[in-house]
Amino acid sequence: MSATAFLFPGQASQAVGMGKDLSEDFPLARQVFEEADDTVGFPLSAVCFDGPMEELSKTSVTQPAVFVHSVVCARLLMGLGVKPVIVAGHSLGEYSALVAAGVLDFSVALRLVRFRGELMEVAGAKRPGAMAAILGVEDQDVVDLCAADEGVVVAANFNAPGQIVISGEIDAVARIGSAAAAAGAKRVVDLPVSGAFHSQLMEPAAQQLAERLGETTFAAPSAPVVTNAGAAAESDPERLRSLLIEQMTAPVRWTDSVKAVIAAEVDGACEVGPGTVLKGLVRRIDRNLDVRPVGTSQDIAAIAAE
């Protein structure tokens, strides 16, 4: 692939066993996982490789786990000469994208991701919230339903046409889910999350994260970064910082983000990290963009053999 985009997954892409094959087959991968363990101060790699799923599913563990796996895959790809011309990440994946583009240092970003996960977990415990995916309803119709409700509930993820995630107070999310079903939604799926991410309920977490991000060095990117909040290619470090702060309470504009990646005239994309969630979403957005999953030793070996 000559002009390649790197797309990085977010929370909910985790699975027990993630990265174990990479660590066994590639010294570079093993080195990154060991550095991650030292940085976070607990055996993150052991939880990734062996579980249990209950531990891996905690927001404060999931986020660094997915992030580290994604960075490992990106480094292995770049070691094979596959360099991105543009990068984007879904929610948490934006941190992986910023590391791949050289904006953030790996260990600095990992500490941020760990802190972010802890903040979101605490915010969810203090003000319990929920998220639900709504399939088969026009985006604007869901936005209108949320606006008409008296509770705190918003459209949080514009994942693909006809696939939107709502976030907010538990009762409000349930009401909108019922209203969407009555309006003809094909499915309403409650998501297994610890809080109302990308909503106003994350404001306390956003304020604390903003302080930390304000003290963090952001370098100029080696490739443009399409941000969740802006859904446009950005190369200014200060703009990337402010949009990353905004990301905590702003919606993930993934449909528009993918369109911005396509506008960069890429030949294809790699889903860099665990799972194939983004490949499925991109297929719903624009079938012409081929997305190649790169999350296992087998995937890396196939690229190396080309």
| Amino acid sitting at position 209 | L
The string of pLDDT tens digits covering residues 104-155 is: 999 999 999 999 999 999 999 999 999 999 999 999 999 999 999 999 999 9
Taking the CB of residue 67, how many other CB atoms lie within 10 A of it?
31
Contacts of 58 (CB under 8 A, 6+ apart): 117, 121, 194
- Active-site position among 13, 57, 91, 167: 91
Exposed, middle or buried, 146 (CB in 10 Å: 0-12/13-18/19+)? Answer: buried
Q: Are residues 12 and 63 in the same domain?
A: yes
Per-residue H/E/C for 56-68: HCCHHHHHHHHHH
The string of pLDDT tens digits covering residues 30-41 is: 999 999 999 999
Q: Are residues 27 and 68 in the same domain?
A: yes
Q: Are residues 141 and 290 in the same domain?
A: no
End position of a domain, from candidates 161, 190, 219? 190
Percentages helix, strand, coil for the chain (3-state, rounded to 5) are 50, 15, 30
Q: Are residues 174 and 275 in the same domain?
A: no
Q: The whole model's pTM is what? A: 0.97
Q: Looking at the domain assignment, is residue 195 inside a domain?
A: no
**Would you state the pLDDT for residue 192?**
86
Q: What is the total count of domains within the chain?
A: 2
Can you give the CATH number for the domain in which 163 is found? 3.30.70.250
Domain range enclosing 54: 4-125+200-304
- Measured between alpha carbons, how far is 125 from 66 in angstroms, rounded to an integer? 22
Q: Looking at the domain assignment, is residue 99 inside a domain?
A: yes
90 is catalytic: no
The Cα angle at residue 115 between residues 247 and 102, in degrees rounded to 5: 65
Q: Looking at the domain assignment, is residue 82 inside a domain?
A: yes
End position of a domain, from candidates 190, 224, 240? 190
91 is catalytic: yes
Q: Are residues 156 and 291 in the same domain?
A: no
Closest of 70, 63, 18 to residue 45, by C-alpha: 18
- Measured between alpha carbons, how far is 131 from 252 in angstroms, rounded to an integer? 13
**CA dihedral sign, ordered 112, 118, 122, 128:** positive
Q: Are residues 8 and 26 in the same domain?
A: yes
Q: Are residues 238 and 297 in the same domain?
A: yes
- Active-site position among 23, 198, 199, 257: 198
Q: Looking at the domain assignment, is residue 38 inside a domain?
A: yes
Span 225-243, average pLDDT: 98
Residue 1 has pLDDT above 90, yes or no: no
End position of a domain, from candidates 170, 190, 210? 190
The string of pLDDT tens digits covering residues 208-222 is: 999 999 999 999 999
Q: Are residues 156 and 212 in the same domain?
A: no
- Measured between alpha carbons, how far is 303 from 306 in angstroms, rounded to an integer? 5
Q: Are residues 293 and 265 in the same domain?
A: yes
